[in-house]
Homo-oligomer: A and B are copies of this chain.
Amino acid sequence: MDFAAFMETERRRVDAYLEDVLPPAGHPPVELHEAIRYTVFAGGKRVRPIMTVVACGALGGDVDACLPGAAAIEMIHVSSLIHDDLPCMDDSDTRRGKPSCHMKFGESTAVLAGDWLLVYPFEVIGRGAEDGLYPPQVAAKICATIARGVCTSGIVAGQVLDLDAESREISGDELRRIHELKTAALMEACARVGAAVAQAPPDLTETVAHSARALGLCFQVVDDILDVIGDAKVLGKPTGADSEKDKNTYVSLYGLDTARQMARDLADEATKALEPLPPSPWLERSRELIDYIVSRTS
């Protein structure tokens, strides 16, 4: 199976699992669950859950057992998109080519759908242990790992710094810090959750965490590049949005060529970090995922 087919298969598996654990359409309160399902099934590529799966597989774990943690991280990611789009935050009317959650369902429902998607993951993770997918100490570890990727060292802190940096010049170090928190921390959590489910030893856990951290930063640099050179139709969002908002990006700070080189360097770092892992088809998929992210066009 080539990598594109693998991504598609995994995407479908994650979507089927999300479909399984989310309350069905029509569940009361109807509007709340509609807003949740609208945003969760808006066509995400499921990069984060797939990072969790390949990390778990490369460490010899049961990839089916990491679905609750993988889906949990995706839900939290979707929550952050909903809240980031709010008028008081980035004020984005569209997301993935469709009206953003608050444009479609109103601001209060969007805030609450985001809240729901921040907390429900922890029920899903707990239920995974009740269903015997992993021992309860793994569930406790997954909860703590994901929470770290969200709070003081994660996406919430990153969004605070990002808003604070709007329309003022910042250094490369500051920009890196923002993206470490806003993007790389949750991607690192993906790898750590995969490692927790695989019950990997600490040194190999750090190995995949390091790779995922570099890949997370790489993902963000590529995002900044695509905002400048990407095709709006392929991306599903208007390009040029960052420069219009005077946002600090890798491109605005370093120029296009250097940003491209930085993305390649980070991808190399992510690949190299995986060297201590034993060869396996999953390790191969991990490498392909890195290539996919650094060369993606959407």
Residues of A near any B CB (own CB < 8 A): 23, 27-29, 31-33, 76, 79, 83, 86, 88-89, 106-109, 111-112, 114-116, 118-123, 125-127, 129-130, 135-137, 139-141, 143-144, 146-148, 150-152, 156-157, 159-161, 163-164
Contacts and interface: CB of A to CB of B under 8 A. Distances in A.
A119 B136 contact: no
Contact of A151 (B107, B120, B147): B120
Contacts of A137: 129, 136
Centre residue among A89, A114, A126, A148 by max chain B CB count within 10 A: A126
A137 B129 CA distance: 8
Contact of A160 (B112, B148, B156): B112
29 contacts: A29-B157, A29-B164, A32-B156, A33-B152, A79-B115, A83-B111, A88-B108, A89-B108, A108-B160, A108-B163, A109-B160, A112-B159, A112-B160, A116-B150, A116-B151, A116-B152, A119-B146, A119-B151, A119-B156, A122-B122, A122-B144, A122-B147, A123-B144, A126-B140, A126-B141, A126-B147, A136-B136, A139-B140, A140-B140
A123 B121 CA distance: 13
Contacts of A107: 88
Given A140-B130, A156-B115, A148 B164 contact: no
Number of copies of this kind of chain in the complex = 2
B129 A147 contact: no
B120 A147 contact: yes
Contacts of A29: 157, 160-161, 164
B136 A111 contact: no
Given A88-B111, A108-B160, A136-B139, 6 more contacts: A32-B156, A86-B111, A120-B152, A122-B146, A123-B143, A129-B137
A132 to B, nearest CB: 12
A164 B136 CA distance: 39
Contact of A119 (B28, B89, B150, B159): B150
A185 B157 CA distance: 29
A151 B27 CA distance: 12
A143 B125 contact: yes
A129 B123 contact: no
A129 B126 CA distance: 14
A137 B127 CA distance: 11
Contacts of A139: 136, 139-140, 143
Contacts of A144: 122-123, 126-127, 130
A152 B23 contact: yes
B129 A140 contact: yes
A186 B108 CA distance: 20
B126 A143 contact: yes
Task: Name the 9 nearest CB pairs between A and B, nearest first.
Answer: A126-B144, A123-B147, A136-B137, A88-B107, A139-B140, A136-B136, A29-B160, A119-B150, A136-B140
